[in-house]
Amino acid sequence: MNNPFLTENTAPHETFPFEQLKNEHYLPALEAGIQQGKADIEAITSNAEAANFENTIAALDNSGEILDLLSNIFFNLHEAETSDELQNLATEISPKLTEYGNDIMLNEALFKRVEAVYLNKANEHLSVEQTTLLDKTYKGFVRNGSKLNDTDKEKLREIDKELATTTLLFGQNVLAESNEYKLVITDASLLSGLPEGVVEAAALTAKEKGHENAWVFTLDYPSYIPFVTYSDQRKLREEMFLAFGSKAFKGNERDNSATIKKIALLRHQRANLLGYASHADFVLEERMAKNPTTVFAFLEDILVNALPFAKEELAELTAYSKSIGGPDELKRWDVAYYSEKLKKEKFSIDDELLKPYFKLENVIDGVFITAQKLYGLSFKQRNDIEVYHKDVTAYEVTNEAGEYVSMLYMDFFPRAGKRQGAWMTVFKNQKRINGVDVRPHISIVCNFTKPTESKPSLLTFNEVTTLFHEFGHALHGMCANGTYGSITGTSVYWDFVELPSQVLENWCYEKECLDLFAKHYETGAAIPEEYIQKITESANFQSGLATIRQIGLGRLDMAWHSADPSNIGDVKAFELNATSATDLYHAVKETSTSCSFSHIFQGGYSSGYYSYKWAEVIDADAFEAFKEKGIFNKEVAKSFHDNVLAAGGSEHPSVLYRRFRGRDADPKALLRREGLIK
């Protein structure tokens, strides 16, 4: 059996041969990869030469090549194209990878060599990038138990194994709950308020799910969001809202209440074992924020500024609702519905007015042209590159000199095997081996509205900004220009990783950028200038409420991870207490944010959800640099490219940012942009 993980790759740019991949390839490749990885480590520890940067730190960074590839392919497909068989494999593969990782981190002979290099670094004459890798490697060993006694090392292994399987269970429960629900409508009168495109998409979904003469709505964002935003049927909006908010919180076998308490407790125990007061203390040691006190103060500072605006916005929305015959008290399933109506009244704009100008293919062209104008990148579709699903498109990325830069995969539509949301990910990191520049393979995964029989995929403006956001992450990965794979691309401090993504969203509000791609899908007419003006004018509509929501999620994350969670009883009560300062609506007892909060319980954002707002402060300040000299100014773009995108994690982010901006970020830049300073 030819195993694509274990045979020579002859594909263009060594792209992965997805069409040859079978589920039975994973376990043999895992075993071979573990053997190779252990042999790599043995070669380092048995080296008769004294430990130095090249024979220990660099050699370690380049070890385990098969496992790196296997992990990237398997877990990316587990997120974007999973199946029952893949989920079963995950419960076998994940603990084995965790055990292998611990075998490395708890290898005493290996740590002694790493420590020897670290203690001798003054005599190594290292570059800044090498010093960063050395510090990160040494801290990585210490932070993962290398200085523990044998008994505690075994405890750490058991905790890590349990965490791996429990985190998988969390994600599988959320996906199963999301896939199970569907709202089937057979009475056309119940579709009132819904835009034509949404109704047509629901009819297509009904066909796909075997329902004749019906319309089906699901919990996938392109179905759920338009329904709760436009449906005139308040009871059905409530039903959809409750279904969405109660995912994995129904007291059944997929209820995540016990699962998240277990995850939080295991993380806390792990942190304590390593000498930290909490999981947040452990995580934040390697973040720009440094500690929980700083995060809480940061969130509180924004809360104090935003809360008065949010209360005013809610009062305005409630008064508006009453004025058009709506309820006296807005429930959560009313907010999007009346907000959209109020926005249209105030600004004469809504998604249905804008969507015809945001055909998906045009928006893709727009983000490509933006990257070309800023960074000289070109994108060519490659139909000869194998992909993992028919909806995925592969692009070859080149620079102004025509040199190959990266592969980019784009995967845009919902399906049963794909988790919700949008993300950028990596199939292969950029690095240099023996002087050869190994270029990265990057992927963007989203859940946008599918084309229907009569319409192409037309994006909401929010989806446009989402695409630009994920493309910003992709640029960070594609433009990587380092030597060591573990500190290139997006391998940066977590509260800095959102800067390239969030800063690119700003271009969506600029006429100079929108004119490049926002054209009516039927007539080809450019988006009217008055529409662009309305987009700009409405950019801060209910920014107070949006900010408060993000602060609430950040505080909820910190509540789970900054203290001992062993006394948490009722998940809902704990949530309400954690978010009381930001909760402007009455609680809905049937729903729980935590039980499907994939960012913090599955996606790597534990003790890091605050980083969205943290990076917004930096991105608002960074974009002011572009605005000062022109949003496509080559000089500013080159500085951002060289000091942020290409630099990856080669230096501390505050150093990189100061090099780009000439100073630290102005904390008031975000409040200025969002109109939260009177």
Say if residues 321 and 334 touch (Cβ distance below 8 Å): yes
Q: 621, 658 in Cβ contact below 8 A?
A: no
124: three-class secondary structure by DSSP: coil
Phi, psi of 308 (to 5 degrees): -60, -40
Helix (H, G, I), strand (E, B) or coil at 442: strand
Strands 436-438 and 423-428, bridge-based pairing: unpaired
Backbone region of residue 145 per phi and psi (left: phi > 0; alpha: psi in -120 to 50; beta: other values): left
Angle, vertex CA 437, rays to CA 436 and CA 443, nearest 5: 140
The DSSP annotation for 544-607 comes to HHHHHHHHHHHHHHHHHHSS-GGG---HHHHHHHHTTTT--S---TT--SGGG-HHHHTSS-TT
As given in the structure block, the two tokens for residue 304 are: 């104090």
How many whole angstroms separate alpha carbon 612 and alpha carbon 554?
9
Burial of 570 (0-12, 13-18, 19+ CB in 10 A): exposed
Strand locations in 367-502 (E): 378-381, 392-398, 404-411, 423-428, 431-433, 436-438, 441-445
Strand partners, 394: 409
In terms of DSSP bridges, do strands 404-411 and 441-445 run parallel, antiparallel, or are they unpaired? Answer: parallel
Contacts of 581 (CB under 8 A, 6+ apart): 303, 307, 552, 555
Tokens for 2, please give them. Answer: 């030819």
Cβ-contact 362, 518 below 8 angstroms: yes
- The C-alpha atoms of residue 248 and residue 593 are separated, in whole angstroms, by 10
CB 77 within 8 A of CB 86: yes
Tokens of 644: 């942020």
Distance between first and last Cα of the chain? 68
What backbone phi and psi angles, to 5 degrees, belong to 410? Answer: -130, 130
Q: Is residue 459 within 8 Å of 467, Cβ to Cβ? A: yes
> Nearest-CA neighbor of 417 among 94, 86, 169, 95?
86
Please indicate whether residue 154 is annotated as part of the active site.
no
> Helix or strand or coil: residue 259?
helix
CA proximity to 461, closest of 225, 192, 200 = 225
Contact indicator for 201, 194 with CB cutoff of 8 Å: no
- CA distance linking residue 128 with residue 487, whole number of Å: 12
User: Cβ atoms within 10 A of the Cβ of 546, count?
Assistant: 15
Contact 128/135 with Cβ under 8 angstroms? no
Q: 């893709």: which residue's tokens? A: 364
State whether residue 451 is helix, strand or coil. Answer: coil
Among 162, 313, 470, 674, which one carries the catalytic annotation? 470
Q: What is the dihedral of CA 625, 626, 628, 633, to 10 degrees?
A: 130
B/e letters for 471-491, b = 16+ CB within 10 Å, e = fewer, are bbbbbbbbbbbbbbbbbbbbb
Catalytic residues: 470
